[in-house]
Amino acid sequence: MTKIEFGTDGVRGKAGTWPIDAAGAAQIGYGVGAFLRQQTAKPKVLVGRDTRQSGEEITASLARGLLLHDVQVADVGVITTAGVAYLTKHMKMDAGIVISASHNPWTENGIKVIGADGCKLSDAHEQALQQAVNQPIDPQNEGKAVGQMQSSPHLVADYIDHLVAPFEGTALSGLKIAIDCSNGAASHIAPECFQRLGCSPIVLHAEPNGTNINHQCGSEIAREGRGDLLETVMSRKLDLGAAFDGDADRVILVDENGHLVDGDYILYILAMHLKERGELAGNVVVTTTMANRGLDAALAAQDIRVIRTPVGDKYIVRELQNGGYKIGGEQSGHIIIYDDTHTTGDGIYSALFIAGILAAAEQPPLSRLALPLQKFPQVIVSARVSAKPALQSLPDFEREYQRISEQLGAEAVINTRYSGTEPLFRVMIEGTSEHRLSDIAKYAVMLGRTVQSATGNSSDWIEAKDCTTGTSLSIENIEDGGVR
């Protein structure tokens, strides 16, 4: 049995291949059951999924493994990741499990585990769980399922009630909004939330068929300046566009001019709103090492401090909990407005929150709320790799990194890492106002190519994106010496 490993967001892979197949899901379910039985005699687990074609089979196989350990399983069906997190804590479950690969194509899927507190597992618990899921299923237990599985789709309504409750009395009827549901878990939830608050949104991509999740729609497409959300906002003269990803833990916004409003901008707008009301705990915003330093500068001008964590929303949540802070998030659109019942990134809740700000009397348009944040030039390059050796073990990479660092100077930021959920190497370079975008893009691609070469993929897939606008950059133009 090939070892099952947890990345930054659970177990991910191609649907139908180990461990994201029937056998692997059963193995993971069996391990989760064993892990929970160490803590309680009769564990209760809540399971939800997004709209991928493989979701039902993986759910059934996962449950089969859980039942071998006398686990009581509540299957809520299609729901967001944040919905599973909320219901796990609200229903006093011992764990929640989400079947989703987030923003990835329908051919991928994943399994992530949420603790009884509604938060992703700590590193120590995740390591213990990983050990448990790699213990073979006892043949004597095969066919002896003693737990119970109950279909519980009605619980989704409780989550919707939870989403709209903070905004009851907020009139969104005057707002003109479009929402892109990515043919994912938000498809039946987000429209109802806005409608219950008096808004009649233009709904895009809310007809999932199992294979169209994230296809030319959703947060990642909007973040690249593509898709029909931007055109819809501009042609219909709307106030706001919101695009979710497959499991709706991310949201990317579009202002009334069709401009990208990513996680950096959302954090700034939320921080200013909460500070004006005396509700920004500690005058602190938590983000990751990937955030643009323009966010730090804009918030510092308002006496708001930025704390940075490693990439991953679970690290942000941990900092929020430890410091008693209120908001944190990632440039990618994971936004956490933390309290006892909002314990993870929730794209729908974040979109409702921003809509509520815009609906307030005499509030300026979204573009003006975001205007004080001026981003530094920033590029992210993603390069497919065949392996993930430690970067410090690659001499060519170390030499190239050192050379580029010296060329850019001490004020530039270079962040390199492997993706925790995909076979990708990522490099983010952020310059200063003195750097040209073309220069930092060229250096980022050089680092990507160096790691590809070291792992046997020297001419394989690579992409680059301008983080300040969301625009995809031509690799050919970059490597020829210019960016268009």
The residues annotated as belonging to the active site are: 102
Half-sphere exposure of 437 (CA within 13 A, CB side): 21
Q: Which two tokens stand for residue 246?
A: 């497959």
Distance CA 464, CA 311 (A): 19
Q: Which two tokens stand for residue 482?
A: 């210019």
DSSP H or E segment with residue 415: strand 413-418
Residue pair 190/218 in contact by the 8 Å Cβ criterion: no
Distance CA 182, CA 437 (A): 30
Distance CA 439, CA 406 (A): 13
Q: Which two tokens stand for residue 374?
A: 């001026």
Q: Buried b vs exposed e over 310-339: b needs ≥16 C-beta within 10 Å? A: ebbbbbbbbbbeeeebbbbbbbbbbbbbbe
Strands (E), 284-394: 284-288, 305-309, 327-329, 335-337, 378-384
Q: Which two tokens stand for residue 400?
A: 């190239």
* Residue 123 neighbours by CB under 8 Å, 6+ apart: none
278 residue type, one letter: G
Half-sphere exposure of 401 (CA within 13 A, CB side): 17
Residue pair 255/370 in contact by the 8 Å Cβ criterion: yes
* Residue 362 neighbours by CB under 8 Å, 6+ apart: none
In degrees, to the nearest 5, what angle opens at C-alpha 219 toward C-alphas 215 and 225? 90
Distance CA 462, CA 424 (A): 9
In degrees, to the nearest 5, what angle opens at C-alpha 240 toward C-alphas 364 and 171? 70
